[in-house]
Structure 1
Amino acid sequence: MGIFKGIATLTVGALAGAAIFAGVNAVRGAGEDAPAFDKVGDYTSTAKNVVRFKLAPSNDKLAQCMPKVKVDVAVALETDKTGRDVFDVTMTGAPPKTSFTVFLLEVPGAPFGAAEYIGDVNTDQHGKGKAEFKLIVEEAFSSTIVGKDRVRKELNHVGMWFADPKDDDFCLGANSPVTPFDGDNEAGVQAFNSAPSLPKAPLP
């Protein structure tokens, strides 16, 4: 595992139990114990060139298993000034002593489209985690050859995966899917995403 500041393009098929609107469903249909993400996807600038938004559990089941989780993202857009942006993730109420991989995504839910692995967030024994990544965010994109043409895809969404395939077993059971969203090509399911920001993307 690690931080890749280059662009990695992943083309993946639909994964079991996920859907593009899964995050929206987690917010709207998880019941009274669901995270209070009433402003998920809305971001405001508290300082010049800073955007803030929240990620939601990727499906109803995960929302029920993590009723107190909150995932806040703040991005300081500093590329013009320093040559890179600053991407901060803060988590509370998450599973303790768990690693999550973080990706910039073309689409927040399956099949995700182009993706860039930017780093990991690790929680402590209290389920709290924080990480800061310095990379291009506002102008992040993937570029690959499709047929004879070079195709560009914008990476304006965010998703987080359980880094270890076993880390989602507490909620989904021992037979939950193994996905390729980690540096060793083995991860659990997507845990959180920015789908509630649809139809617009949270990142400019």
Structure 2
Amino acid sequence: MKLRIKIIGVLAAATAAGALVASIVTTTAVAGGNGLTFTMVRSAAAEGANCLRDARATVRVYPQRFNEVMTIRAYGLPPRTNFDLFILQVPNAPFGVSWYQSDLRSDSRGRATVRVIGRFNIETFAVAPGSTHAPDTHPTIDATSNPAFAPIHTYHVGFWFNTPAEATAAGCPGATTPFNGDHTAGVQAMSTRNFPDLAGPLSQLGS
């Protein structure tokens, strides 16, 4: 009986250690060779609805002379589904300053890959020195002027279902959000919410 208890204790300790290591892996961006690698997890909306249970994604950022190349490889997504990729101030609602980067689409096996060139490091930011007029591309939806704000750094990554219908088909909530080109996207699918709000993974890559 004592031997059995000891074995159970060792197994429990090993399981706890494994869980801790897994937690560290998913919340740490690994820099190497002047690049950066980190993971994304399913969004708060997806977790709350218990959808996208198999979704996972790896992001790699490689510096170039004047910018960075960011490659996202996602797996376990619903097949043949469209998504919209953003750089974010914070990974969860209300998201803050958010910048549209690219579309991506899963294949028949639920895999999606996209490669984006831009500024994806500790210098990634948005700024509005003053308020002025803005294009009214989508009347009644678009703002016609901007608020002034000091530089705000945007270190998080997230992508949304392109439509509410695609979200509900995957078992996720059917809310409409502004996160696509005509502001009729579905809910967020995946994000870097496995990192702290004020320490998104892009902050770990120097200029």
TM-score tier, shorter chain, comes to: 0.7 to 0.9
For the Cα contact (< 8 Å) 1:103–1:117, is it kept in 2? yes
1:58 maps to which residue? Answer: 43
Cα offset, 1:149, TM superposition: 5.2
Question: Which residue of structure 1 aligns with residue 124 of structure 2?
Answer: 140
1:41 equivalent in alignment to 2:27: yes
Residue from 193, 196, 206 that aligns with 1:195: 193
Q: Which residue of 2 aligns with 1:104?
A: 87
Q: Which has the larger radius of gyration?
A: 2
For 1:121 and 1:168, the matched residues in 2 are separated by: 15
Equivalent residues of 1:121, 1:129 under 8 A apart: yes
The percent identity for this pair of structures is: 27
Q: Does residue 113 of structure 2 align to residue 130 of structure 1?
A: yes
- Helix, strand or coil for the counterpart of 1:160? strand
Q: What is the distance in 1 between the residues matched to 2:172 and 2:72?
A: 24
Shift in CA distance, 140/96, structure 1 to aligned 2, threshold 3 Å: same
Which shifted more, 107-116 or 135-144?
A: 135-144
Taking structure 2 as the reference length, the TM-score comes to 0.72
Deviation at 1:44, TM superposition (A): 1.1
Q: Which runs of 5+ in 2 are unaligned?
A: 1-21, 132-145
User: What is the TM-score with the length of structure 1 in the denominator?
Assistant: 0.73
Runs of 4+ that moved beyond 3 A? 145-150
1:167 is matched with 166
Counterpart in the other structure of 1:73: 59
Q: 1:88 to 1:150 in 2, by over 3 A?
A: same
User: Residues 149 and 181 (structure 1 numbering): CA distance in 2 closer, same or farther, change over 3 Å?
Assistant: closer
C-alpha distance in 1, partners of 2:81/2:120? 25
Deviations 1:19-77 (A, max 9, x none): xxxxxxxxxxxxxxxxxx6322312124x221111111112235x32222211111112
Cα deviation, residue 106, structure 1: 0.6
**Tell me, which stretches of 5 or more residues in structure 1 are unaligned?**
1-36
Supply the distance in 2 between the matched residues of 1:148 and 1:165 (Cα, whole angstroms). 29
Relative to structure 1, the CA distance from residue 148 to residue 58 in structure 2 (aligned partners, 3 Å threshold; closer, same or farther) is closer
* Secondary structure at 1:125 match in 2: coil
Matched-pair contact (CA < 8 Å) for 2:51–2:172: no
User: Do the aligned partners of residues 189 and 148 (structure 1) sit closer, same or farther apart at CA in structure 2, a change above 3 Å counting?
Assistant: closer
Q: Which amino acid aligns with 1:98?
A: T
Instruction: Name the CA shift for 1:150/1:69 in 2 (closer, same or farther; >3 Å).
Output: closer
* Superposition deviation, residue 123 in structure 1: 0.6
Q: Answer whether contact 2:87 2:100 (CA < 8 A) is retained.
A: yes
C-alpha separation between the residues in 2 aligned to 1:112 and 1:148?
16
Q: Which amino acid aligns with 2:161?
A: F
Query: Over residues 93-129 of structure 1, what are the superposed CA-to-partner deviations in whole Å (9 max), with x where a residue is unaligned?
Result: 1110011111110111111110111101111010011
